[in-house]
Structure 1
Amino acid sequence: MSTPAQDASVVVGLGRSGCGAAKLLQSLGQRVCLIESVDTPEAQARANTLRQLGIDVRLGVPLDSSSLSQLDRQLEGGLHRLILSPGIRWDLPVLNELRSRGIRIHGELVPAWEASRPVPWIGITGTNGKTTVTHLVHHLLQASGLDAPMAGNVGVSAAELVLERRSSTAGLPTWMVVELSSYQIEAAPEVAPRIGIWTTLTPDHLERHGTLRAYRAIKRSLLERSMVQVLNGDDPDLRDHAASWPQACWVTAGPRQGLPGEIRPRLWVEAGRVMHDWHGTCQNLMAADCLAMPGEHNRQNMMLSIAAGLEAGLSGEQMERAFRSFPGVPHRLERIHEHGGVTYYNDSKATNYDAAEVAVRALAGPLVVLAGGQAKIGEAGGWLEALKQNARAVVLYGAAQAEFQSLLEGAGFDGAIHLCGGLEEAVPRARALALELHCRAVLLSPACASFDQYADFEARGEHFRSLVLTLAR
């Protein structure tokens, strides 16, 4: 008996999320066709792996009207549903054309959401901080005995996780901790987390979303669909819109008196302790210094994580114990090595000016900072001021080096500026400068995307790590 036509799905993209969605849908008994615009040896190898599972993979098929019309004629029952990977723009004209014909279009998160019901999701978004909060919430719940794996924009895709757990004897988890990018949120309006966490908002991805207002609206939509809305009261943009969040759970890394009158936080810090407003009664939860990660921003990340832990039923004692055992987040102010009195930090996850500014301000200077890659649209003023205050030298590399040199000189940076082709040259140059200028640390915090030289920020961070460890031999 053939699968009904309405169960057929076309997945676009042979990346991690696309492959995960295709495998999950196929495991659910649906007929799946995956299309990919490139036809390279690497794509052929991935395609063959999927074909062995019974998935129809077609390479060299661009996402355009002609190819999709041909696919519509070839598929039994026609084209009814399209599943997109996050890298594909949600507003492409060809997608609007398909919508007008009644074809359903979903992001890759939607199959994972549908197949994981009724597991509650903790959805974490924000311009900066979301990866750290995702790791922290996952660690809190797991260390306290709850089955709460993490997925999404970090680690494995949500579809891969759901497929793995549906296929295992363990079954679906108690919670899912899911990091969500703006690309994923805009393509998955069905996703409604039990707990939604919004860390920060600063201009980012404007080359895709167009305006800060549009970018903000996408992030906001996730929280509006969440049963519990956790917001960072220390973020200026979120704070400016406090009046529009009457039911939100606000947190702050400082005293509650430091917030505007319309914000009454549920969590705050007082006399070195984390305090909790429980139905009008103040509770002393834990020591505020139990997380050994540098920077005020990480105190904010901790407070957001505590809010999720409380909603999941954890006690202050459980969470304090878990925070003290937290190993840190790869590529986010990750301490790599100390050599010759200089400590090396990998902050490759800092792919925009605001994230890089946070890192520069978080460490005790003076610093040598490595920056560069593929520049993004954004406001660089805060980052430049942080460099002027805390860096004695900046080593620039990659596609953005000339642009960044101009920004630094225009801002009156009076430290040393060195230009290098890539990290192979930049890391030993940074070491020599740190020794010469008596700097405490060398910080890789690129303020750029990685795609000029690397597949992703993880590959960039791993290359930096290997170069630092080679220097120390």
Structure 2
Amino acid sequence: MVHATAVVGLGRSGASAARLLSAQGHTVWLLERRRTPQLHSTAMALRQEGLHVQLDCALTFLEQLNPRAVVLSPGVGWAEPVLVQLRRRGVPVHGETELAWQTMTSAPWIGVTGTNGKTTITAMVSHLLQQAGRDAPICGNSGATATELALERHRGRRPDWVVAELSSFQIEASPTIAPHIGIWSTLTPDHLDRHGSFAAYGAIKAGLATRSAIPVLNGDDPEIWRRRNRWPAARWITCRSGAALQPHRQAALSIEEGVVTGPTGPLFSANVLSLPGQHNRVNMLLATAAALETGLEPGRIAAGLRSFPGVPHRLETIARRQGVTYINDSKATNYDAARTALAALDGPLVLLAGGRAKQGDAHGWLQAIAAKAAAVICYGEAGDGFAAQVQQTCPQVVCQRLPDLGEAVPRSHALALEQGVPTVLLSPACASFDQYPDFEARGEHFRALVQALGEATPRANPEPPGEILEELQKPCP
């Protein structure tokens, strides 16, 4: 067998990593455990580019291949036994994002991580820089995959900044990524099935802050704040008065009497951002602190925040039907994100929740349901469990169990009209993988279903657009 570089996973990340390696002169074998018509089509296209592609291929094939290095897509577990053995033998094994980092080290990186908030912060930082005339593309867990961006810039102009959203999966498999600015938004339990414990998950996130030249950290998050002694020179933000962090740390940014304030004094009104919720004030301060570190002036930052539109699938207003507003929060893939969404909105509302449940503490989420929801529709794989929890903890809330969004959305409309409430919120508190390839596909299907409510002859369960049905192996939050 040719002594090649192996890429594991034939999603966007794997395909772009393989193309980048090939452009760099490597012999590449791309391995995929699944076999579907879409994957077969992708494999045929890659073979025409000179890449070797093996479908329906167990990871143990790596032992036969004897690769010189292995590059992993984010969905491939870091602790797979064959990968552990290869690392012990000295074979370089790293993630697709690490490959992009090694390719684009000449450009300064802003790495953004956190259990929740990282997608909004990533988009906000890029928007602020782009509005100020800087070339600051997004990559990683949102936007282009990191290697797609690296391949695009392989022979082109270096960006002024690379703004990378980094999940725990990507950080775990990228041991040398060291951003110039590292932003850490929140830390609550997530992905425990993959990482084994909250301590291990937190250590992965903390590793990015430690390797960053300038850590920008959320002083209002108790778990991040508890680790503060690890980063004595970090830039800390708080939505409280800056005195709240003293005498332990000096706040780089705080909110004093409704004004974003730095160590030298007031910068601009804290109301420049139109997005709802206290969590978005945290996001604004983290993005502002990073933008200040890049040299942007406060006036430019304030102007950029005023024009920031938000991100799809995160508290995104979809439509208004018969006085009922529909909000898409499909990106809320855990209890804490869904609790934050409920806290950001006025009640009462109808909540749609369900999908594939994750490990975590549901107590705060259930308290938020009791405070804000008039009715809850539980659907998908987690539907029975969610319905039992809601009925036990929130007996005053109307709770119904339905199989999927196709039935849940029309029923939510009827419930909203019956209950006289103005809002229907999709905030699943779950992964999407029981019924969708990713949370984007779930959000787009919700959008299609809401749009169908306004049709003269609505379809009971319109299919999502074809492109979101492709089984893409996309990065995870």
Q: CA deviation at 1:100?
A: 2.1
- What is the percent sequence identity of the aligned residues? 52
- Quote the RMSD (CA, aligned, Å): 1.4
In structure 2, how many angstroms separate the alpha carbons of the residues matched to 1:111 and 1:19?
13
Counterpart in the other structure of 1:306: 288
**Which among 256, 261, 264 is matched to residue 242 of structure 2?**
256
Inter-partner Cα distance in structure 1 for 2:214 and 2:71: 28
Q: Deviations over 1:137-176 (max 9, x none)?
A: 01010011000000100121010011112244xx121100
Asked if 1:400 is matched to 2:400, the reply is: no
Q: Cα offset for 1:117? A: 2.0
- Structure 2: where are the runs of 5+ without partners? 456-477
Q: Which residue of 2 aligns with 1:183?
A: 169
Aligned mates of 1:339, 1:295 — CA distance in 2: 24
- 1:451-466 pair list within 5 angstroms: 451-466=433-448
Task: Give the SS at the match of 1:156.
Answer: coil
How far, CA to CA, are the matches of 1:412 and 1:367 in structure 2? 14
TM score, norm. by length of structure 1: 0.94
Q: Distance in 2 between matches of 1:264 and 1:270?
A: 14
> Which is worse superposed, 177-186 or 41-50?
41-50
Amino acid at match of 2:296: L
> Counterpart in 1 of 2:333?
351
- Say if 2:367 is the partner of 1:379: no
Matched, 1:119 2:107: yes
**1:24 counterpart = 2:20:** yes
Segment of structure 1 superposing worse, 355-364 or 98-107: 98-107
> Counterparts of 1:156-235 in structure 2 under 5 Å?
156-168=144-156, 171-235=157-221
Question: Residues 413 and 193 of structure 1: is their aligned pair in 2 closer, same or farther, counting only changes over 3 Å?
Answer: farther
Amino acid across the alignment from 1:194 = H
Q: CA deviation at 1:261?
A: 3.2
How far did 1:260 drift? 5.3
Q: Could you tell me which residue of structure 2 aligns to residue 69 of structure 1? A: 63
State the Cα distance separating 1:58 from its structure 2 match: 1.7
**Correspondence list, 1:34-73, <5 A:** 34-64=30-60, 67-72=61-66
Alignment of 1:443-458 (within 5 A): 443-458=425-440
Report the AA paired with residue 392 of structure 1.
A
CA pair 297-413 structure 1, distance change in 2 beyond 3 A: farther
Contact 1:182 1:215 in 2 (8 A): yes
The one-letter code matched in structure 2 to 1:332 is R
* Residue 271 in structure 1 maps to residue 257 in structure 2: yes
TM-score w.r.t. length of structure 2: 0.93
Give the corresponding residue for 2:467. Answer: none
SS of equivalent to 1:266: strand
- Which string of whole-angstrom CA distances, capped at 9 and with x for unpartnered residues, describes residues 28-73 of structure 1? 1222111112233221111111112211112222102xx223222x
Q: Is the 8 A contact 1:7 1:30 kept in 2?
A: no
Q: Which amino acid aligns with 2:23?
A: S
Partners in 1 of 2:346 and 2:150 — Cα distance? 42
Please give the per-residue CA displacement for 1:292-345, whole angstroms capped at 9, x wherever unaligned.
101000000000000110011101110111111111100000011122222111
Take 1:392 and 1:453, find their aligned partners in 2: how far apart are those partners? 26
Mapped partners of 2:338, 2:296: distance in 1: 33
Letter in 1 for 2:139: A
TM-superposed deviation, 1:7: 8.8
Q: Which residue of 1 aligns with 2:230?
A: 244
* 1:288-437 pair list within 5 angstroms: 288-437=270-419
For the residues of structure 1 that align with 2:408 and 2:200, how far apart are their CA atoms? 37
> CA separation in 2, counterparts of 1:287 and 1:214?
39
2:256 maps to a residue whose letter is E
What do residues 388-408 of structure 1 show as CA deviations (whole Å, max 9, x unaligned)? 001110011111110001111
Establish whether residue 151 from structure 1 lines up as the match of residue 139 from structure 2. yes
Contact kept, 8 Å, 2:3 with 2:65, in 1: the verdict is: no
**Structure 2 SS opposite 1:192:** coil
CA drift of 1:6 comes to 11
- Structure 1: gaps (5+ residues): 73-78
* Secondary structure class of the residue paired with 1:54: coil
